Structure 1
């Protein structure tokens, strides 16, 4: 099972790759397993998820080593090879997630950072999605998504939540090879979210409080 929370903190490099090769895998994996023991892993980064995130960095082993030493430290990861990111207004992003999980194939990892929702997508999405969106008629009241791909970088949440009101995972990476939506799926979610926003009228700004239970979805539908 996996979940996206009705609410939703970041990573960087550390020790030398030589030291990590000597000790085998970074101890981050043991740290994560210990932390997750006896808990619902739904909205938590797993060891496999951490490995996937780190694979986007120039020095994955060093990134994992730093993450182990400072699990609440921020980090910046490049887009374009392992993943692209679709960056949207938080309210609009939650509408996209509602559509993706209730009517679509689900989503890849999703994070909140500084009032924006970051939806992780397949590499190449940032290049293709803007041209697909150009075919749609967008109301001025609907914020157009920002797309981050090759040459861009994003700040991602850490392995553990440091500040409840800060950046955090909505759908945490929980596998070494997560399913990621492509440009067509993201376009579909955007269009559905626009329609939902229009139908909802003033209710667009009403969401459950931060401490309400997470909404749970079956990740097997994302395969």
Structure 2
């Protein structure tokens, strides 16, 4: 499972010798205040989603502070939601659920990396949940006990997303990691887990007493991904 902060131990796994790219040394040598940041093992996992992982790592070595573009559908899918709703989903996933995979923010949106196949299944599950709640005919109160789920964009096979730079500092704007990849085999939530989080947030949004947030106030200058294609 990915961690909120970088795990220095994953930077010493010998991945640099395997790939022959100095990006791992660059990540090792980062110092000073950092936002959630990719580790060497996390960079290797991200690069594995590209058709040519070695070329991707070489590009990141030359431009470690530039965003990258990776295809969805093989190593991961991406679920794209409004930033505030996404933050509430993360609160549920980390406080009461199994946690999350990597997560990034940019331009008022949040991207949750999910298991391959999620982009195909989650929209139908959300549609079923909305129908099952509002169409249950048992009086009008059921709709008042949950808020509406905002439009959810799901990116899978045939789509690509812009991922944040491997290295960044909290003061920088643009795409940023909230939960950075830190392992070669990160746990990724499936459609059932993300459906659960969406439903929990929508039901709690209309509650008079809001749950205490584990996040600081939203940073209006940074939040999720430019997407080349949308479903």
TM-score normalised according to structure 1 size: 0.76
Closer, same or farther: CA 195–23 of 1 in aligned 2, 3 Å = closer
Name the structure 2 match of 1:155: 162
**Structure 2 counterpart SS, 1:181:** coil
Alpha-carbon deviations, 1:134-172, whole Å to 9, x = none?
Answer: 112288853121100000000010111265332100000
Separation (CA, whole Å) in 2 of partners of 1:141 and 1:201: 18
1:1-223 paired onto structure 2 within 5 Å = 2-3=3-4, 24-35=19-30, 43-137=36-130, 141-161=148-168, 164-199=172-207, 208-209=216-217
Asked whether the 8 Å contact 1:2–1:42 carries over to 2, the reply is no
TM-score normalised according to structure 2 size: 0.74
1:41 Cα offset (Å): 8.3
Closer, same or farther: CA 135–210 of 1 in aligned 2, 3 Å = closer
Q: Which consecutive unaligned segments of at least 5 residues does structure 1 have?
A: 5-21, 212-223
Q: Which consecutive unaligned segments of at least 5 residues does structure 2 have?
A: 6-16, 135-145, 220-231
Closer, same or farther: CA 158–194 of 1 in aligned 2, 3 Å = same
Asked whether the 8 Å contact 2:77–2:154 carries over to 1, the reply is yes
Structure of greater Rg = 2
1:203 Cα offset (Å): 9.5
1:179 Cα offset (Å): 0.3
Closer, same or farther: CA 40–185 of 1 in aligned 2, 3 Å = farther
